[in-house]
Amino acid sequence: MRTKEKQTILDYLYITAGSAITALAIAVFTNPAQIAPGGVSGIGTLLYHSFGIDVGLSIFVLSVPIFLIGVKLFGRMYGLKSLIGTVLLSAFTSLWSHIFGYGGILDYTKDMSFWLSCLYGGVLSGVGIGLVMKGGSNTGGTDIIALIISRYTHITTGTSLMLIDAVIIAASALVFSIESALYAIVVVFITSIVLDKVVLSMGTGYAKTVLIISDHLDEIGSFIIREMDRSGTVISAKGLYTGEERPMLMAVVPNQEISRLTRRVHEVDKHAFLVIQDTHHVLGEGFTAMEKIIAEQHNDVTQL
């Protein structure tokens, strides 16, 4: 079996395992505890406890139209893998709900059960979503909406996603209670920490700076521009040992896209040299708008 075929099988195993684990977090911990930590699953939790609609069904009905919009706007960026991630998440959520029951496995007459749901729901969600991302997919839903907002406004993808989740969490405060919304914030925090560890193994920056030295920079650069809708800079470099002049490509990509880029570089050139480092603040097109930072700094000076 060729290396590419093995990688494809591994990707789908990641997506399947990640979807199953994420669905377990929803069905067994967050939904029974009435915790809606953003995302389509958060909306599904609100719909289940308000109207009795199966959470898995809600995830599917809400995610598929959003996915189709993503395909129309972003093309192959949202291909078969993303659709599979969406379908598997909804299917596994319904499956676990039927196996374990919609009331979960904890006794929610005890306060500690809510904290356990926050902890295990957050950890499992982080691990599951991280594995799905490692497989080059996503679980659909609000992340696509965030990308759409980012594309047509000056709001970054991360900020857009945070605002969407904030609206869902605020709605949970109205439907459930203030305590439920606060629990949801805890779940989001735990999920983000675990997700970062799974996808990147280390680091907490929200983006990555990648330096690439390869004999196939044109093909890698074309992938970054056409498939990832990003850009980069080619820098003249010189080997210290050989003294040979070689171009080096520098690109900045969000955390969730780094696995996709490194995999593609490996496919194009197994001998490529990569340096990946945390980037905590990126200003410019596709990230935080320069005008926003200047305005914030002006406000800080005015307050002083």
CA dist 210 and 254 (Å) reads: 11
Could you tell me the fold of the domain covering 207-279?
A: Alpha-Beta Plaits (3.30.70)
CA dist 33 and 107 (Å) reads: 9
H helices of 176-257, in order, are 178-200, 217-226
Say which DSSP state 18 is in.
H
CA dist 40 and 89 (Å) reads: 11
pLDDT single digits (tens) 23-82: 999 999 999 999 999 889 999 999 999 999 999 999 999 988 888 877 777 665 556 777
Contact status, residue 111 vs residue 68, Cβ threshold 8 Å: no
The radius of gyration of the chain from alpha carbons, rounded to an integer in Å, stands at 21
Find the range with the poorest average confidence among 10-19, 77-86, 98-107: 77-86
Other beta carbons less than 10 A from residue 4's beta carbon: 9
**Residue 39: CB partners within 8 Å, gap ≥ 6?**
139, 141, 142, 165, 168
pLDDT single digits (tens) 192-240: 888 877 765 434 445 788 999 998 899 998 888 877 778 888 998 888 8
Domain boundaries, the chain: 3-200, 207-279
